[in-house]
Structure 1
Amino acid sequence: MEFKLERPIEQLLPQSVNFNYEQLKAELQGSLEKYQNMVVTKDSIKDAKDDRAKLNKLRTSIDDQRKIIKKAWNVPYDAFEKKVKELTGLIGEPIATIDKQLAVYEDQRKAEKREEIEEYFDEKIGCYAGLIPFDKVFDPRWLNVSYDIKKSKAEIDDLIKRVEIDEKAIKDLEVECEQQMLDAYFQTLDLSAAMAEKKRFEDRIMQLAELERQRQAKVQKVAEAKQQKPIYQEVPAKAAEQPVNTNKKKTVTLRFEVDVDREQMMALKKCMIENNIQYRKIEEGDREEWQSKTA
């Protein structure tokens, strides 16, 4: 089957549609020249409108001829186009059927090839079966007709070898965050991701160490402040009326602990006041005890 014209298209169509083009063009150029520098005034407005009406009529008559010629010109083409579309429509139906069948065949071919590659993967993956699913490493190019299945299997072999080398490199580091590194690696199959996890872990350890150092420094500062804090003594109002002993004697500081009830405690307190013994209560953070200082 072959499409053939009864006569060449050059013989079917006229070489041109001839009319008094040159004559009409020359007359228009001469008669329209006066309008180039035209200025409409109150006295000439009626003439200007009449001229515009005549020019519009002339333009319409010329364009109408164009439409007539085009319509006549298109009559054989429209008939020709209708016949061609009918033929191409007939051909399109079996093409669609064939395309559908080819798609079914192609899907089946890809499924069979994928199944064979996945079986090979399952056979070779070994101890990494639970860590590396087939979908993670699957390359859609493997299913192309032009992609040799031997090349796909070789890429799987190369992948497993690389994983073994990377895993050994991580374990040889013998770091505390080994498991975190392995988790990061098997999520991405990228050694740089594992190293990034190592750095993140080490940075966190350094941060915690710095926080602990700051905490200890704060505790030390508080302890030093307590040691330097002056001792305040409780002086009752009547004690202030007693004469101050201006004879300074050598004193010692005694720190002791007693078990007393409230009545005994008040008696002990009274005794220290009457004997001009300075004392203070230990600040919060230590055991509650009495500290006396000999005057």
Structure 2
Amino acid sequence: MELRIMSPQENDFIKEIQWNNEELKQEITATMQEYKSLAFTEENIKDAKADRAKLNKLRTAFEDERKKIKKQCMEPYTKFEKQVKEIVSLIDEPIALIDSQIKEVDDQKKAQKQKDIEELFGSLGFQNFVTLDKIFDPKWLNASVAMSKIEEQMKSQMFQIGHELETIRKLPEFAFEAKELYKKTLDMNQAIQEGQRLAEIQKRKLAYETEQKAKEEELKRQTELRQKETATQKAQEKSKSVTESKKEDNSENSPESQQDQKTDPIMSIDFRAWGTREQLMGIRQYMLDNNIKFGKVE
């Protein structure tokens, strides 16, 4: 079975389309030079539009001829291409059937190898948090990868996991949290970074709590200081009030006061007043300021 081309043969193919291109090239080049030197103005713009239409018509004529020749050259190839595709489609059908059967056999082999890999994994004694999907390499299912090679890689991973766990356990802070993340990801760098992140948060938390405690103690100290100042001020005011009261009593018993009493008749009135402390103290102060003797009502 062979493909034989009867027509055209290699030497029969058109190698060149011959036409008077050089002649036309020289002629058109000379004509185009004339247009390069022209300067159109408002007075001769009508001539410019006419020349443009003439040049567009010439260009269209060349393009139409090019497309015509292309179609003539492509017609036999287009027919040949269609015929070849029909034959190729006949070949593609059994290829697809064979491919599907090959794939089915390959899938069966991969399924069996998947089972073998699972059995091997279960027999090696991996850490209890390690599952096959965490270490599985899709390349293991390739026919070119022997089970002995897979076993070697699994053991290497198991020993590496043990080593990385030991490294994480030695972290100074948050080793437990880092280990828990490692169990999920089997990524030692990520686990260590998580431990460091938590340690940094803890450090900032302690600094914040220390700062807040210092502020609370300072606030408490300031409050106690103000309370002491208030108590001292009240004591001073009370002492001053007692002193002034004694002075007033002495002033009432002085000769000058007795002379005044001889001059003006002394009268008395009993009354009871109700008011705020400030108001009552105001009445008291008024009587003191005006030398009015007062005392308790018996």
TM, length-normalised to structure 1: 0.64
**Residue of structure 1 in register with 2:143 after alignment:** 145
Residues 89-238 of structure 1 mapped to structure 2, 5 A cutoff: 89-126=89-126, 128-129=127-128, 131-171=129-169, 173=170, 177-211=174-208, 213-214=210-211, 217-218=214-215, 220-221=217-218, 224-225=221-222, 226=224, 229-230=228-229, 231=231, 232-233=234-235
SS in 2 for 1:243: helix
| Higher normalized helix content (fraction of residues) | 2
SS in 2 for 1:242: helix
**Aligned-residue CA RMSD in angstroms?**
3.6
**Structure-2 change in CA distance of 1:241 and 1:55 (3 Å):** closer
TM, length-normalised to structure 2: 0.64
Find the aligned partners of 1:190 and 1:143 in 2 and give their Cα distance. 24
1:192-243: CA deviations, max 9, x gaps? 444344444544554454455445545654565537824344959x967632
**Structure-2 change in CA distance of 1:2 and 1:227 (3 Å):** same
1:171-206: CA deviations, max 9, x gaps? 4x4967443232122122233444344444544554
SS in 2 for 1:145: coil
1:55-98: CA deviations, max 9, x gaps? 44444444333333222222222221121121122222222333
Q: Which amino acid aligns with 1:181?
A: A
Point out which structure has higher relative CO (alpha carbons under 8 A, 6+ apart): 1
Q: Which amino acid aligns with 1:114?
A: Q
**Aligned-pair identity (%):** 35
> How far did 1:24 drift?
2.9
**Structure-2 change in CA distance of 1:34 and 1:117 (3 Å):** same
1:254-287: CA deviations, max 9, x gaps? xxxxxxxxxxxxxxxxxxxxxxxxxxxxxxxxxx
Which of the two has higher C-alpha Rg? 2
Q: Which amino acid aligns with 2:179?
A: L
**Residue of structure 1 in register with 2:245 after alignment:** 242
- Equivalent pairs counted in the alignment come to 241
**Structure-2 change in CA distance of 1:14 and 1:169 (3 Å):** closer
Find the aligned partners of 1:102 and 1:11 in 2 and give their Cα distance. 44
Find the aligned partners of 1:212 and 1:96 in 2 and give their Cα distance. 73
**Residue of structure 2 in register with 1:64 after alignment:** 64
**Residue of structure 2 in register with 1:28 after alignment:** 28
Gaps of 5+ in 2: 248-298
SS in 1 for 2:38: coil
Gaps of 5+ in 1: 245-295
Contact 2:168 2:179 in 1 (8 A): yes
1:99-136: CA deviations, max 9, x gaps? 3333333333333222211221122134x23x112111
Q: Which amino acid aligns with 2:246?
A: P
Contact 2:178 2:195 in 1 (8 A): yes
| Higher normalized strand content (fraction of residues) | 1
> How far did 1:168 drift?
3.8
Contact 2:178 2:194 in 1 (8 A): yes
Q: Which amino acid aligns with 2:2?
A: E
